[in-house]
């Protein structure tokens, strides 16, 4: 992609520096302009779990919570926080430095991935667009674990694409990709199926024989296992039981996602509630009546299956509402109309760009297939639990990697760009 005038204004040598610095500047702006009420973290998982566990690690008490092994969530984020606290103390800094570092790394990883498709100028524009995606910064302000997860997730995708594209060290690239996805799982359990998705992606494309693809899938799987196995062994040693990543709050997350129409009384800044069809509201009432602190995720699933047999239309309405709210919903029901309009425009641009990319770069269609598969995965996970836009934040801005297709098609630049066979 050649924009000679643009390159004269901003020399390509400066692209990496700008890519690394811009997210930090925007993050400082967010911290400055966002009201204190939106930065309140008293009721979040950070204050309730991640911070106390990180402090226990820092003080030599291990990965514990209230004197017991900390199994509500995976250990990755508390370990990262503990390391940040330890390293930041001599600098008189706080955990905000982790946010800034992760933002810069994410923007740079996006730049490196996009550079493989568009060259430095196109990649620079993609990274700038990624850095302007507001919802990543909102999760950072709330001290959520997404941004740490995104660093490993993006790094894993980069290694996966390197393995698919290049002739040398393919097995090593795929193993590292699997390991990085495994480490991402240890930060956010929503990533538990990312490794499975990228293994499934190996079934697409015609560049490699079935035997080679099986070998590559095995490399990804081994990397996944190698990353997660030490934690699983530690949990088994401490508890004598096998726990898949964490005990979690799966039942509560599912319950929360099935009763989102009701407000949270007595919670400052909590959910206000929304209107839903009467039959869906009645279904939610039934869910509330059967749920207790001892209810398991399996019991909730069995209950919803039974409800589907009795009133399939109501259950399907609920699923469709959850599927829609995954694109604009927030836990506190703030700014949902604004987010909806933003994402409608955002996805319209991405669909147009993706269609142009598919038509103009037939040898690179695997990139579209991979992005679609991962987007559907994160969307599906959001539908399973509380359906809010936050859970799509790791994947949505990554779709901006296709955005240069619109500009290149408009300016007739595709004929000047060579392609590499990666599908």
Where a domain ends, among 275, 296, 324? Answer: 324
State whether 151 and 239 are in the same domain.
yes
Whether residue 239 is found in the same domain as residue 260: no
pLDDT for residue 1: 45
Task: Dump pLDDT digits (tens) for 235-250.
Answer: 999 888 888 888 766 6
Which range has the worst mean pLDDT, 16-20, 61-65, 250-254, 406-410?
250-254
Residue 241 and residue 257 in one domain: no
What Cα–Cα distance (Å) separates residue 176 from each residue in 112, 185, 222, 233, 423? 17, 14, 9, 21, 21
Q: Is the pLDDT of residue 308 over 70?
A: yes
Q: Residue 242's domain spans which residues?
A: 146-248
65 DSSP β-pair partners: 68
Q: Is the pLDDT of residue 157 over 80?
A: yes
Residue 340 counted as domain residue: no
Task: Say whether both 190 and 260 belong to one domain.
Answer: no
Rg for the chain, CA atoms, rounded: 22
Res 164: pLDDT? 84
User: In this structure, what token pair is assigned to residue 14?
Assistant: 């400066």
Query: Average of pLDDT values for 48-57?
Result: 92
Residue 418 lies in a domain: no
Domain endpoint, select from 307, 324, 341:
324
Tell me, yes or no, whether 268 and 302 share the same domain: yes
Last residue of some domain: 214, 248, 282? 248
Q: Is residue 172 part of a domain?
A: yes
Question: Do both 166 and 179 map to the same domain?
Answer: yes
- Domain count across the chain: 2
> Partners of 285 in the beta sheet?
none
**23 falls within a domain:** no
Enumerate helices (H) and strands (E) in the chain, giving the number of each: 18, 2
In this structure, are 189 and 210 located in the same domain? yes
pLDDT bucket at 41, cuts 50 / 70 / 90: low
Q: Is 170 within a domain?
A: yes
CA distances from residue 163 to 172, 252, 409 in whole angstroms, order as listed: 8, 39, 29
Whether residue 375 is predicted with pLDDT greater than 70 in this model: the reply is yes
């Amino acid at each position: 992609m050649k924009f000679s005038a643009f390159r004269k204004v901003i020399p390509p040598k400066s692209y990496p520096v700008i890519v690394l610095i811009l997210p930090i500047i925007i993050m400082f702006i967010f911290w400055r302009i966002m009201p204190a009420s939106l930065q309140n973290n008293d009721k979040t998982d950070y204050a309730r779990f991640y911070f106390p566990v990180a402090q226990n690690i820092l003080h030599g008490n291990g990965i514990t919570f209230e004197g017991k092994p900390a199994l509500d969530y995976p250990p990755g984020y508390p370990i990262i926080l503990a390391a940040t606290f330890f390293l930041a103390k001599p600098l008189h800094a706080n955990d905000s430095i982790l946010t800034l570092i992760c933002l810069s790394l994410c923007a740079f990883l996006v730049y490196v991935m996009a550079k493989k498709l568009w060259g430095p100028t196109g990649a620079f524009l993609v990274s700038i667009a990624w850095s302007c995606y507001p919802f990543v910064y909102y999760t950072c302000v709330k001290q959520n674990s997404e941004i740490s997860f995104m660093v490993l997730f993006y790094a894993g995708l980069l290694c996966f694409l390197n393995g698919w594209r290049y002739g040398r060290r393919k097995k090593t690239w795929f193993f590292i990709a699997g390991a990085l996805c495994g480490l991402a799982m240890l930060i956010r359990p929503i990533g538990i199926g990312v490794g499975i998705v990228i293994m499934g992606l190996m079934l697409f494309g015609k560049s490699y024989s079935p035997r080679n693809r099986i070998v590559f899938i095995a490399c990804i799987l081994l990397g996944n296992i190698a990353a997660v196995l030490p934690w699983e062994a530690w949990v088994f040693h401490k508890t004598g039981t096998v726990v898949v990543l964490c005990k979690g709050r799966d039942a509560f997350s599912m319950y929360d996602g099935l009763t989102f129409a009701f407000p949270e009384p007595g919670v400052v800044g909590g959910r206000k509630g929304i209107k839903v069809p009467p039959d869906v509201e009645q279904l939610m009432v039934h869910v509330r009546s059967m749920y207790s602190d001892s209810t398991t995720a399996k019991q909730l699933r069995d209950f919803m299956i039974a409800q589907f047999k009795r009133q399939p239309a109501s259950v399907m309405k609920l699923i469709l509402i959850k599927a829609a709210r995954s694109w604009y919903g927030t836990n506190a029901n703030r700014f949902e109309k604004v987010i909806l309009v933003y994402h409608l425009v955002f996805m319209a641009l991405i669909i147009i760009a993706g269609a142009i990319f598919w038509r103009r770069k037939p040898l690179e269609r695997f990139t579209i297939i991979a992005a679609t598969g991962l987007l559907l995965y994160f969307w599906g996970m959001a539908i399973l639990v509380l359906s809010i836009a936050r859970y799509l934040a790791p994947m949505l801005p990554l779709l901006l990697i296709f955005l240069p297709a619109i500009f290149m098609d408009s300016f007739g630049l595709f004929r000047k760009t060579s392609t590499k066979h990666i599908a």
